[in-house]
Amino acid sequence: MMSTPATAVEVSNLVKTFDGGRVRALDDVSFSVPEGQLLVIIGLSGSGKSTLLRHLNGLHQPTSGDVRVLGVDVPASKGAELRGLRRDVGFVFQQFNIVGRLSCVENVLSGALGRLRGPRVGAWMYPKAMRREAIEQLDRVGLADRAWQRTDTLSGGQQQRVAIARTMMQRPRIVLADEPVASLDPEISGQVMDVLFRLCLEDNITVLCSLHQVDLALGWANRLIGLRDGKIVLDTLVDETTAHEKVMDVYLRLDPDGKKIEEYQPSRSARASAEEELRRARRQAGAFATGRDAVETIDVRG
Amino acid sequence: MTALSTSTVRIDQVPLHKPWNRSRVTLVLVAIGAAVGSVWGLREVDLSLFSIIDGWPETQNLLERMWAPTIAAEDRGFLTGLVFDTFFMAYAGTAIGVLLAIPLAFLAASNVVPFAPVRMLARAVIVFTRAVPTLVFALVFVRVYGIGVLPGILAIGIHSVGMIAKLLADAIEDIDPGPREGVIATGAGRMQEMVTGIWSQIIPSVISISLYRLEIDFRGAPILGFVGAGGIGLAIRGYQGNLRYPELLGVTFLIVVLVLLMEMLSAITRRAILGSELGSASIGRGSSSGQAVLGVDDPHSVAMMSPATTGASAPSGSSAPWTRDRIKLNVAGWGALGLLVGSFTIPDVSIREFFTSIGDMPNVFWRLVPKDMTWLTDRVVNDLLETVAIGFASTFLALVVAVPLSFFAAANTAPSRMVYRFTRLLALLIRAAPDLVIAVILVAAIGLGPAAGTIALAFGMIGFATKLLADNIEEVPDAPRDGVFATGATRVQEVGTGVTPQVLPSMLGNMLYLFDISLRSSTVLGIVGAGGIGFLLNNAAKTLNFEVMGGIILSIFVIVYSIELLSSWVRRQVI
Ligand SMILES: Nc1ncnc2c1ncn2[C@@H]1O[C@H](COP(=O)(O)OP(=O)(O)OP(=O)(O)O)[C@@H](O)[C@H]1O
Ligand SMILES: [Mg+2]
């Protein structure tokens, strides 16, 4: 991208089909994410959210189109280069994907594997400094007192917090989160999203997170992207004035029955100014605590 | 985020080392025990890398004398007869095992027999027949009933009873607990009704367990001839005695082919019978080779079919419609009966003799009971120790190869499809050669003694171990691995952190099971001069010294059973 702020993610004309072209999971998707943005992707089930996120760390190969993450051409990279990219791009899964039989510390430690050579089976195989670091990360998610407990003895919300600590242990520059709270109840969901976004803000990490809950999205996101049938149908910056109803309305219109929606064309100038604003907002200490500055909202055409 | 500041400890209070808990302590103890046992075992059987290298020229020399394997033209008719004998011996043995096991299983099930002493007696029979190897029973029966197929059938039958009855009793205990209260309160009429009710629910279990047992007995039957119990093993013994090595190797290959064929046959049968909805929840993940089941000692790995599935499709009355499953069941039933008739006509076993021998069985067992302790000589103690040493050493050697190999033989960890296929095939081929046959060859190569037996056992076990452990690895869920993978870990790291901890408990269970098996096998190696207690057992059999045989069998039982108890305790601690 030509703009001055570093671009974390740049996706252009991404198409992904499954089953020999019968399923079009992503249909000409283009967008770019500046570093430090907290982006939430919403969309109904099957709209392509997971597929999109999985392209960003090379878990899927695009059918056509470009995917650049942190300057790396993802589809073209493999082996050590791709692993290097994955180290910089944390992934938070809906089902946590932690190793239940291991203790919390050991799960968090596995986030540091990319910094080490060779396999590690237990905590004793990691350097002491790393174990200390892992415990600190657990403390950040409020689980230091559970450090050596078997992870599968924790509640779902706690397990996801362990997974977040593991991701932070990677020291990533981007975090991808695929419906990280979809299997948790609403109250716990709020807590877990708070932890995720707070830590990412503290460490200045770019976030791309898919969510079902618009409320949660509005609480933290700087930007919302809506997907429907593999197309971007909504791309809007978020501020405190972005009314819940309005987004809900948009969300409802993501429904296939909302026939009025047409393809969305992002307005480059609007986004550029919004990004400018964002950067300024972040420079003000503790951007999240003071609240984000007002940014312009982009409408869905139609 | 406020709700999260509940952590009460300060970070510097959190220990940097994993605290010790029960399961970790057990694991370390097991590891130490295994290491000490292996080192002791390897020293005891006098096996080191040097002795293997030193022995290599002689082995090579022997292999050259053996090459090329042949089937002597004049022996063809004789061998064909033995092949048929082997097949029917295994079949009839399993059939008898099943028939005897069914009532035994009912007697051993707590929801059928509320009466504890009866149950315990039944369980004791089960435990004993399971612990004593088929070949040992064969040794005894050959002395009583003479050389031939009959002692082989009986030996297979008696040994099979234990395992079948155990699995079946567990299946019975697993079904609907509803009728239990009824039995306690009511008389025989009600009891009969209940047994009938249970029977209709466990038919699929009976079928799947029988098929599984049949596979094992097909594998075991070729070696029974070593002690004179009929079948192709007789030929091996003959050629060994006459030093006809090319023919010996030829028959070895014949046995390998035979075992593979039987395995395919049972895989096909399994799929035909259990592939229907009748067996939709059936045992094991039948691989292409049809070796479906994990630890025999773990009835839950031989997952029984749920009563729900079976209740619907089991033939329950005379008016039941002729569904596909019912037709299949009938075909299978009549086929099984036909084969059984064949078993008694083709190898020429007299039915009358058979039934007399069955009736005579208590008498035989009574003769085996030692009336004093004179059988327990220093030599017996010494050889028993050697048996355990062979067990340790061979398990260790087999695992050293099989553990790494199993990661190549598991579809989800193999570096490529090719490697996976190749390793699986290798494991299958190695498995098909009976360890006792390998022992015969090795004894010829490096001389009598436990070293030959240890290598033979270890070699034979590599195939089985690789398969078992690879199956364990394939069961590991993918999600945690993906989690590790996404952090940018290498594939080796991903397996180390995402697979190993998950597979550890089941692998440990199977390693203990493998130790169990090798211990059982090591008790009979001595029959071909490959070390262990089998030598004295064979001698006692030759001199018709029944009480010494009985004493040795009893001590085999004690050792095998205590190892089994120990391993089930370990499993409970770790899982
Ligand atoms: N591996 C695959 N093979 C075939 N089709 C797939 C595959 N993965 C995804 N799809 C299809 O692609 C489409 C988008 O799926 P995707 O999982 O990305 O949706 P999603 O927005 O994440 O849905 P959810 O909210 O349910 O997670 C769906 O139609 C899905 O069936
Ligand atoms: Mg999804």
What's the CATH code of the domain at B348? 1.10.3720.10
Provide the shortest C-alpha distance from residue B18 to chain A (in Å): 6
Q: Is residue B315 part of a domain?
A: no
**Structural domain includes residue B397:** yes
Q: CB contact, 8 Å: A194 with chain B?
A: yes
B22 and B93 in a single domain? The answer is no
Residues B410 and B290 reside in one and the same domain: no
Q: Would you call B496 an interface residue with chain A, using a CB distance cutoff of 8 Å?
A: yes
Q: Look at B244 and A292; give whichever has higher pLDDT.
A: B244
Q: Are residues B335 and B426 in the same domain?
A: no
Residue A5 reports pLDDT greater than 90 = no
- Helices B500-522 and B546-574 meet at what angle, rounded to 10? 170
Block residue for tokens 């972005």? A242
The structure tokens listed for A176 are 């991808």
| Closest-CA residue to A229 (of A246, A253, A265) | A253
For position A250, what pLDDT does the model report?
Answer: 58
Residues of A in contact with B504 (CB under 8 A): 101
CB contact under 8 A, A100 and B480: yes
Please name the member of B480, B496, B501 whose beta carbon is closest to the beta carbon of A97: B480
What is the side-by-side order of every strand in the sheet holding A223-228? Answer: A89-92, A174-178, A206-211, A38-43, A223-228, A231-237
Q: Which residues, including other chains, have CB under 8 Å from residue B240's CB and lie 6 or more apart? A: B248, B440, B444, B528
CB of A228 sitting under 6 A from ligand 1: no
**pLDDT at residue B236, rounded to an integer:** 87
Q: Do B488 and A135 touch (CB under 8 A)?
A: no
Rg, C-alpha atoms of chain A: 19
- CA A75-A76-A82 angle, to 5 degrees, is 80
**Cβ contact (<8 Å) for A145 and B14?**
yes
Q: For residues B292 and B389, state if they share a domain.
A: no
Q: Using a CB-CB distance cutoff of 8 angstroms, which residues of chain A are in contact with residue B500?
A: 119, 121
Q: Please report whether residue B56 resides in a domain.
A: no
The finding on whether A180 has its CB within 6 A of some atom of ligand 1 is no
CA gap B104, B165 in Å, rounded: 6
In a domain? residue B348: yes
| CA–CA gap between residue B561 and residue B187 (Å, rounded) | 36
Question: In this structure, are B340 and B395 located in the same domain?
Answer: no
Q: Which residue, by CA, sits nearest to atom 25 of ligand 1?
A: A45
Residue with CA at minimum distance from ligand 1 atom 16: A48
Indicate whether residue A90 lines ligand 1 (CB < 6 A): no
Ligand 1 centroid to residue A17 C-alpha, Å: 10
Do B488 and A145 lie within an 8 Å CB cutoff?
A: no
The answer to whether the CB of A226 is under 6 A from ligand 1 is no
pLDDT of residue A284: 46
Beta-strand pair A38-43/A223-228: parallel
User: A96 touching B, CB under 8 A?
Assistant: yes
End-to-end CA distance of chain B: 36
pLDDT for residue B331? 78
The verdict on residue B7 lying in a domain is no
Q: How far is A287 from chain B (nearest CA, A)?
A: 15
Q: Give yes or no: residues B334 and B277 share one domain.
A: yes
Based on the fold, state whether residues B447 and B507 are members of the same structural domain: yes
A101 to B504: CB separation less than 8 angstroms, yes or no: yes
Nearest in space to B499 (alpha carbons), one of B571, B401, B398, B412: B412
Residues B32 and B140 in one domain: no
Average pLDDT estimate for A62-86: 92
B325 or A158, which is more confident? A158
Output the CA B384–ligand 2 centroid distance in Å: 61
Chain A residues close to B14, C-beta within 8 Å: 135, 144-145, 147-148
pLDDT at position B177, please?
A: 58
Please, how many CA atoms are within 13 Å of residue B544, restricted to the half-sphere of its CB?
5
Helix (H/G/I), strand (E/B), else coil: A300: coil
How far is it, in rounded angstroms, from Cα A113 to Cα B486? 11
Closest to A228 (Cα-Cα) out of A53, A44, A65: A44
Which residues make up the environment of ion ligand 2, defined by Cβ < 5 Å?
A 50
- Our mutation pick for probing the ligand 1 site, out of A14, A16, A49, A214, counting the most ligand atoms within 8 A of Cβ, is A49
Residue A58 contacts B where some CB pair is shorter than 8 Å = no
Instruction: Tell which wins on pLDDT, B167 or A216.
Output: B167
Q: What are the residues whose beta carbons fall under 8 Å from the beta carbon of B212, sequence distance 6 or more?
A: B283, B284, B292, B293, B302
pLDDT on residue B190: 63
Instruction: Tell me, yes or no, whether B220 lies in a domain.
Output: yes
Interchain proximity B487–A166, CB inside 8 Å: yes
- Would residue B371 count as lying in a domain? no
Q: Is the CB of A146 under 6 A from ligand 1?
A: no
What is the Å distance from ligand 1's center to A16 Cα? 10
A144 touches chain B (CB under 8 A): yes
SS3 A40: strand
> What ranges in B475-533 are assigned the alpha helix state H?
479-485, 491-498, 500-522
The pairing of strands A64-69 and A38-43 is unpaired
In this structure, of A164-168, A264-268, A276-280, A295-299, the range with the lowest mean pLDDT score is A295-299
Supply the residue whose CA is at minimum distance from atom 24 of ligand 1: A45
Give the domain range for residue B451.
18-47+382-575
A299 to chain B, any CB pair closer than 8 A? The answer is no
Q: Are residues B392 and B480 in the same domain?
A: yes
Q: Does B348 share its domain with B388? A: no
Alpha-carbon span B502 to A215, nearest angstrom: 37
Q: What is the mean pLDDT of chain A?
A: 81
User: Residue B481's closest CA among A180, A279, A91, A29?
Assistant: A91
Nearest to A246 by CA among A278, A214, A209: A214
What is the domain count for chain B?
2
* Chain A touched by B27 (CB under 8 Å): no
Asked if residue A48 has its Cβ within 6 Å of ligand 1, the reply is yes
**What is the C-alpha to C-alpha distance for residues A145 and A142, in angstroms, rounded to an integer?**
8
Q: Is the pLDDT of residue A292 over 50?
A: no
Same domain, residue pair B356 and B392: no
- Is residue B1 assigned to a domain? no
- Cβ(A208)–Cβ(A53) under 8 Å? yes
CB within 8 Å: B500 and A121: yes
Q: What does the pLDDT profile of chain B (575 residues) look like in tens digits?
A: 444 545 567 778 888 888 888 888 888 999 999 999 999 999 998 887 777 777 778 778 877 887 878 887 788 888 888 998 898 899 999 999 999 999 999 999 888 888 889 999 999 999 999 989 999 999 999 988 888 899 999 999 999 999 999 999 988 888 765 544 555 555 556 667 777 778 878 888 888 888 889 889 998 999 999 898 888 989 988 888 888 888 888 888 888 888 888 888 878 877 777 665 444 333 333 332 223 332 333 333 333 333 333 333 334 444 556 677 777 777 777 888 888 777 777 767 777 777 788 788 888 888 888 888 888 889 999 999 999 999 999 999 999 999 999 999 999 999 999 999 999 999 998 888 888 888 988 888 888 889 999 999 999 899 999 999 999 999 999 999 989 999 999 999 999 999 999 999 889 989 999 999 999 999 999 998 898 999 999 999 989 889 999 999 999 999 988 988 888 888 888 77
Check CB contact of A121 with chain B, cutoff 8 Å.
Answer: yes
**Interchain proximity B488–A93, CB inside 8 Å:** no
Is the Cβ atom of A170 under 6 angstroms away from ligand 1?
no
Nearest to B255 by CA among B289, B220, B212, B288: B220
| From A57, A118, A121, residue closest to B486, measured CB to CB | A57
Spatial separation of the C-alpha atoms in residues B256 and B259, rounded to whole Å: 5
- Whether ligand 1 lies within 6 angstroms of the CB of A157 is answered as no
Same domain, B357 and B386: no
Q: Which residues of B touch A118 (CB under 8 A)?
A: 492-493, 496
Q: Do A59 and B9 touch (CB under 8 A)?
A: no
Chain B positions in Cβ-Cβ contact with residue A135 (cut-off 8 Å): 11, 14, 16
Question: H helices of B410-499, where?
Answer: 417-432, 435-446, 450-474, 479-485, 491-498
B474 CA to chain A: closest CA distance, Å?
A: 16
Q: Within an 8 Å CB–CB cutoff, is residue A164 touching chain B? A: no
* A50 to chain B, closest Cα gap in Å: 14
Pairing of the two strands A89-92 and A231-237: unpaired
